[in-house]
Structure 1
Amino acid sequence: MLLTHGPNQWNYLADDSIDMQFNCIAIGKASAVIAQNGELIIGFAAILFGDACPTSLAKYDDLKAAAYIGDVVVHSDYSGKGLAHSYSKVQLNSHQLKK
């Protein structure tokens, strides 16, 4: 789903970014948020926590308290319906649960 529906005129998914985010998920430094319609995966977002966040954010806040939305992909048949926007709400809830 990521590589089929992710890349488009507004979104470029770099292989190294995808690898880094899945590695962070595997070791507990990130969460994957999946949206489904029945069995079909229609959305994916990686939520990175703490030192997994981009270091450029450290000038704004302590990374230990930070959460960052990484790559977000929405199935092309479901684009424009607000799914990607809803991930910003999930980020806050996920970060609160992580504490």
Structure 2
Amino acid sequence: MISYRLAKTTEVSELKSLLWKYGPNEWNYLTEEGVDAELQLVESGRAHAAVAIYRNQIVGLAILISGVDAPSYIEKYARVEESSFIGDVVVSKEHSGMGIASQLLRECIHKAKSLNSKSVLIERHEENLASAGMMKNAGFTIYETFHDPDKRSSGTRNSVVLGCMLNN
């Protein structure tokens, strides 16, 4: 059985290992600088990582970042002071397809509500169907699709920004 909780700051190195083991693919934009910055926010308590646990092992994660610390482009879609942003989301290959990623997103939404966020934003590659499904299942709707060649190197090279409004 899978359980969910927030990661402890002492687990950041385990989160990083999981992210680099299962995160890189043609759809995901991962840079060492970006991953390190995101995990430093978790380590400092300025961001939260929801984790999925199976047999005492972390098998999935989703990182919730304050809108203030999120990528600057989110201000186009929401007031940063009232928003949260979900950064990297990854589930181990052995546990993919079980709805874990969607539940991790819901865990992030729940945490964002407790922080009084009014919305949660997230982004993906336009053609990343697995991400599209998990985001739809968690209640996200598409805000905008745009050409993003500096970040996307495959397929249409488009990014999609999605959001979820919260009723606090």
Q: TM-score range by the shorter chain?
A: 0.7 to 0.9
User: Which is helix-richer, 1 or 2?
Assistant: 1
Rg larger in structure: 2
Letter aligned with residue 113 of structure 2: Q
The answer to whether 1:24 aligns with 2:33 is no
User: Which is strand-richer, 1 or 2?
Assistant: 2
Letter aligned with residue 73 of structure 1: V
Quote how far apart the aligned CAs of 1:12 are: 4.0
Corresponding residue number in structure 2 for 1:74: 91
Count residues with an aligned counterpart: 99
Unaligned residue ranges in structure 1 (runs of 5+): none
Q: CA 1:76–1:57 in structure 2 vs 1: closer, same or farther (change >3 Å)?
A: same
Work out the percentage of aligned pairs sharing the same amino acid.
30
Unaligned residue ranges in structure 2 (runs of 5+): 1-17, 117-168
Output the aligned Cα RMSD.
1.5
Corresponding residue number in structure 2 for 1:90: 107
8 Å CA contact 1:29–1:50 kept in 2: the answer is no
> In the aligned structure 1, how far is the partner of 2:102 from the partner of 2:77?
23
Q: Which deviations, in whole Å up to 9, do the C-alpha atoms of 1:8-31 show, x marking residues without a partner? A: 343342111111111111222210
Greater relative contact order structure (CA < 8 Å, 6+ sep): 1
> In the aligned structure 1, how far is the partner of 2:42 from the partner of 2:71?
15
Corresponding residue number in structure 2 for 1:36: 53
8 Å CA contact 2:52–2:104 kept in 1: the answer is no
The two structures have a TM-score, normalised by structure 1, of: 0.88
Letter aligned with residue 55 of structure 2: G
Q: CA 1:77–1:9 in structure 2 vs 1: closer, same or farther (change >3 Å)?
A: farther
